[in-house]
Chain A
Amino acid sequence: MARVKLEHVWKKYTNEVAAVKDFNLDIQDKEFVVFVGPSGCGKTTTLRMIAGLEDISSGDLYIGERRVNDVAPKDRDIAMVFQNYALYPHMSVYQNMAFALKLRKTPKDEIDKRVREAARILDISHLLDRKPKALSGGQRQRVALGRAIVREPQVFLMDEPLSNLDAKLRVQMRAEIRKLHQSIQTTFIYVTHDQTEAMTMGDRIVVMRDGVIQQADTPQRVYSHPVNMFVAGFIGSPAMNFLRGELAEEGGALYFRAPEINIRLPEGRYEAIRAANVIGKPVVLGIRPEDLHNDEVFLQTYPEATLQTHVEVVEHMGSELYLHVNVGGQTVVARVNARFDVRPGTNLSLALDLNKIHVFDAETEAAIPHPTQG
């Protein structure tokens, strides 16, 4: 069990390109942290630096109380599971799980004990004599996890371990990995580009872009209080809507204005907006598709936050509709209940839930903090 701490960690390649820039993160013992971001954002490089498969250009890395920058990977007490973590084709499940221990000259009795215990945790004891060919995709993935568990590491490092699985199996394995974390109570660091995986698995998620941490927080807070437009747009599906316009002050009230849009902002946001000094400047108003409503209750509650839109596309998702609407030349997606009969080509009033709006500085793309944000 161990805490992992990265202090001002940089990764620079020989051509001076920085893949990871001033990375600071304190991962608590037994925490499940997910690194998420688009490809090339530096998440895998960071994981590989923790593993020792990449040199750290500058900064300090601690596992437990020990600074491990110069400690060989095998002595860092970590285990890794990768996306393409294959099984040895001619070995049984037992031999596959035992192989890495055998290479490390672990005594036979100890190997046997660890393999059987890992098999018990993963519920694959009945598969120990089988060859990989006779296993399903999910079973293979569990064996791959078992190969990491038998090492009894302080930290598990997982690099997109579910990317090769089909969608159904991925959902199942997400739960399995989460369960595994609860049962073995070890620090997990998990890399994915899939924001759903990040949201559902992590105690904390670290959103990265261009080698820089954008936000590190609980999934709920990252979703509710994104610190900038990148995080706001990356987390959530469909993505958050961004409306470009300006903030204007009139009679002591603040308005967001854009062509065909005039929204009076809630008073609770005034202080932060004034402090950000963006009145009269271009801003971006963010609203998630589920925070746009077409039912009467909302339209009456927020008459000054209603958009008159034109429906362009309707996507039927079963219990919900995704409405692609146009307002003043800007496209917005709304997620509404499927009981509403909305057709393309019609006009539709949509009310914004003013408690859920986000305001971003158009120049810096940084969020102007919400008062509930601590």
Chain B
Amino acid sequence: MSDWWNGVIAHWGAALHIPLAVERLSPNDADLPVGEWRFEGGTWRLRLDAEYCVVCSRSDLSDATRAALRWTLDMARRSSRQSWQSWLRERVQLRLQDGDGKRGVEIGFSDVTPSLPAGYLVWLHPWSPSGQAASGTHHPAGRPSVADVANALAAGSWLGWLDPGRTVPYTTGLVYCTLNALDTALDDMLPDGEPDTVSAFRELQRVKQWVSALLVQLEADLYFPARAVVGASIRHAGDVEWAIQSLRDTWRVASMPHHAERVLGWGEAAVEHLLLALSGHSRSQFRKMVELRTMEPPVELSGELLETLLGVIRADLNVSEAARLLYLHRNTLLNRIERIRQHTGYDIRHFADALALWLLYVLESVPGASDA
């Protein structure tokens, strides 16, 4: 007996306290179309397939409940025939295009989910580092070729294009990088591929290495510049929803002006993730607190101040290293730091002061910060 309906029936029976059972078709069911209800002999019967139907002994089963159960069983039937790729594609598109309002459609699905290989979702944004996103839809490389390149690096990894939605206004691509594919691909593909996958961090680094290779191939073979974010790891179907949310959050962080990475993984910029969660009120309070110390508010995080601040932060507050990174003489940099101290009251050679200005800078970069 096929069992694709078991999960749905058990789940719905328990959740709605209705008696549902699966029985063989009776002779009277012969003309009942698959997926349709009929009331007969005081019970509701819905045909599941050529042999079985589901029976509810409650005569007062409402129209709405019957419609919802019929729809869920129909989806379960479809899912049972789906590959994990199409199952994942369907869910990811729902999440990325329609926001979080679709939770209900997954009632009863978990037991019919195809076996999902562990891996990472990768969201590919056609991109130029100048900050302008290229249009994937109209890109001369064409959609099929991008899929060909991704699948040539790891078979079956390409999930599809996501058309413009609320999250991003241009076409993006989705890739599912399975750990199995990584194991076989990376060592063969790159001269310095390492087999070590001990820690989650190392695993993410390997995924990023693969994604970087994908981006290079897209540029070299298709002249298609892109950036990518990697979501949280997926070990089973239940992780998909969180992974999609993590993709969205990681893209928000990657979009901040100070992030120049071509590939950013979820969790690599934990502080920015935290800042994104702050309300507009909290942001505005923070700005007020920072400006309490300044002589000439507001602090303008731009030009020389910003360049110096970011240089010193990149150099882990090491002035000599910062001078090297900024191509400045050490004394020139020290003069600048002193000017900044006099102007703002913050001495960026000290961790707490540098951190306060850097947090202010990141908060100002957060989309919607101006609304605060």
The reply to whether A84 and B188 form a contact with Cβ atoms under 8 Å apart is: no
The reply to whether A55 and B152 form a contact with Cβ atoms under 8 Å apart is: no
Q: Does B223 contact A (CB under 8 A)?
A: yes
The reply to whether B130 and A91 form a contact with Cβ atoms under 8 Å apart is: no
Q: Which residue of B lies closest to A131 (CB)?
A: B188
A352-B257 Cα distance, complex, nearest whole Å:
50
Residues in B neighbouring A103, C-beta threshold 8 A = 141, 145, 148-149, 221-222
Q: Mark A100-133, 1 if CB is under 8 A from B, else 0.
A: 1001000000000000000000000000000111
Q: Does A64 contact B (CB under 8 A)?
A: no
Q: Mark A144-173, 1 if CB is under 8 A from B, else 0.
A: 000110000000000000001100000000
Quote the shortest CB–CB distance from A127 to chain B (angstroms).
15
Q: Which residue of B lies closest to A74 (CB)?
A: B223
Give the contacting residue for A82; candidates B140, B184, B219, B225; CB below 8 A: B219
Q: Does A52 contact B (CB under 8 A)?
A: yes
Quote the shortest CB–CB distance from A42 to chain B (angstroms).
12
Say which one of B34-42, B105-113, B210-218, B345-353 lies at the interface with A: B210-218
A147-B149 Cα distance, complex, nearest whole Å:
14
Residues in B neighbouring A88, C-beta threshold 8 A = 152-153, 189, 217
The reply to whether B190 and A210 form a contact with Cβ atoms under 8 Å apart is: no
Q: Does A62 contact B (CB under 8 A)?
A: no
Residues in B neighbouring A53, C-beta threshold 8 A = 128, 219, 223, 225
The reply to whether B153 and A14 form a contact with Cβ atoms under 8 Å apart is: no
The reply to whether B152 and A99 form a contact with Cβ atoms under 8 Å apart is: yes
Q: Does B63 contact A (CB under 8 A)?
A: no
A interface residues, how many (CB within 8 angstroms): 46
The reply to whether B223 and A51 form a contact with Cβ atoms under 8 Å apart is: yes
Q: Does B101 contact A (CB under 8 A)?
A: no
Q: Does A315 contact B (CB under 8 A)?
A: no
The reply to whether B220 and A147 form a contact with Cβ atoms under 8 Å apart is: yes
Q: Does B295 contact A (CB under 8 A)?
A: no
Quote the shortest CB–CB distance from B302 to chain A (angstroms).
8
Among A82, A84, A100, A131: residue with most chain B CB under 10 A: A84
Q: Which residue of B lies closest to A165 (CB)?
A: B191
Q: Which residue of A lies closest to B326 (CB)?
A: A210
The reply to whether B189 and A14 form a contact with Cβ atoms under 8 Å apart is: no
Residues in B neighbouring A148, C-beta threshold 8 A = 220
A374-B302 Cα distance, complex, nearest whole Å:
42
Residues in A neighbouring B129, C-beta threshold 8 A = 13, 45, 54
Q: Mark A183-216, 1 if CB is under 8 A from B, else 0.
A: 0000000000000000000000000011000000
Residues in B neighbouring A13, C-beta threshold 8 A = 129-131, 257
Q: Does B269 contact A (CB under 8 A)?
A: no
Residues in A neighbouring B188, C-beta threshold 8 A = 89-90, 131-133
A209-B326 Cα distance, complex, nearest whole Å:
10
Q: Which residue of A lies closest to B146 (CB)?
A: A103
Residues in A neighbouring B191, C-beta threshold 8 A = 137, 140, 164-165
The reply to whether B217 and A86 form a contact with Cβ atoms under 8 Å apart is: yes
A140-B327 Cα distance, complex, nearest whole Å:
37
Q: Does B155 contact A (CB under 8 A)?
A: yes
Residues in A neighbouring B213, C-beta threshold 8 A = 84, 86
A262-B145 Cα distance, complex, nearest whole Å:
69
Quote the shortest CB–CB distance from B336 to chain A (angstroms).
15
A148-B217 Cα distance, complex, nearest whole Å:
12
A45-B130 Cα distance, complex, nearest whole Å:
10
Residues in B neighbouring A133, C-beta threshold 8 A = 187-188
A137-B212 Cα distance, complex, nearest whole Å:
19
Known: A73-B223, A82-B220. A89 touches B140 (CB 8 A): no
Q: Does A87 contact B (CB under 8 A)?
A: yes
A91-B221 Cα distance, complex, nearest whole Å:
15
Among B129, B141, B192: residue with most chain A CB under 10 A: B129
Q: Does B132 contact A (CB under 8 A)?
A: yes
Known: A13-B130, A53-B225, A133-B188. A80 touches B153 (CB 8 A): no
Residues in B neighbouring A16, C-beta threshold 8 A = 302
Q: Does B369 contact A (CB under 8 A)?
A: no
The reply to whether A86 and B223 form a contact with Cβ atoms under 8 Å apart is: no
Q: Does B185 contact A (CB under 8 A)?
A: yes
Residues in A neighbouring B192, C-beta threshold 8 A = 164
A110-B191 Cα distance, complex, nearest whole Å:
30
A195-B95 Cα distance, complex, nearest whole Å:
50
Q: Does A15 contact B (CB under 8 A)?
A: yes
Q: Which residue of B lies closest to A87 (CB)?
A: B189
Q: Does A81 contact B (CB under 8 A)?
A: yes
A14-B133 Cα distance, complex, nearest whole Å:
12
Q: Does A225 contact B (CB under 8 A)?
A: no
Known: A74-B140, A74-B141, A88-B152. A54 touches B220 (CB 8 A): no
Residues in B neighbouring A80, C-beta threshold 8 A = 219-220
A228-B202 Cα distance, complex, nearest whole Å:
44
Quote the shortest CB–CB distance from A118 to chain B (angstroms).
15
Q: Does A293 contact B (CB under 8 A)?
A: no
Residues in A neighbouring B184, C-beta threshold 8 A = 89
Q: Does A142 contact B (CB under 8 A)?
A: no
Q: Which residue of B lies closest to A40 (CB)?
A: B325
The reply to whether B190 and A86 form a contact with Cβ atoms under 8 Å apart is: yes
A164-B213 Cα distance, complex, nearest whole Å:
13
Q: Which residue of B lies closest to A55 (CB)?
A: B130
A310-B257 Cα distance, complex, nearest whole Å:
51
Q: Which residue of A lies closest to B365 (CB)?
A: A15
Known: A72-B140, A132-B188, A164-B192. A85 touches B131 (CB 8 A): no
Q: Does A57 contact B (CB under 8 A)?
A: yes
Q: Mark A355-371, 1 if CB is under 8 A from B, else 0.
A: 00000000000000000
Q: Which residue of B lies closest to A73 (CB)?
A: B223
Known: A14-B131, A54-B129, A132-B189. 6 other contacts (CB 8 A): A54-B225, A84-B216, A90-B155, A132-B188, A133-B187, A165-B191
Q: Which residues of B contact A (CB under 8 A)?
A: 128-132, 140-141, 145, 148-149, 152-153, 155, 184-185, 187-192, 212-213, 216-217, 219-223, 225, 257, 302, 307, 325, 327
Q: List 6 A-B contacts (CB under 8 A).
A: A51-B219, A82-B220, A84-B190, A85-B220, A103-B222, A164-B192
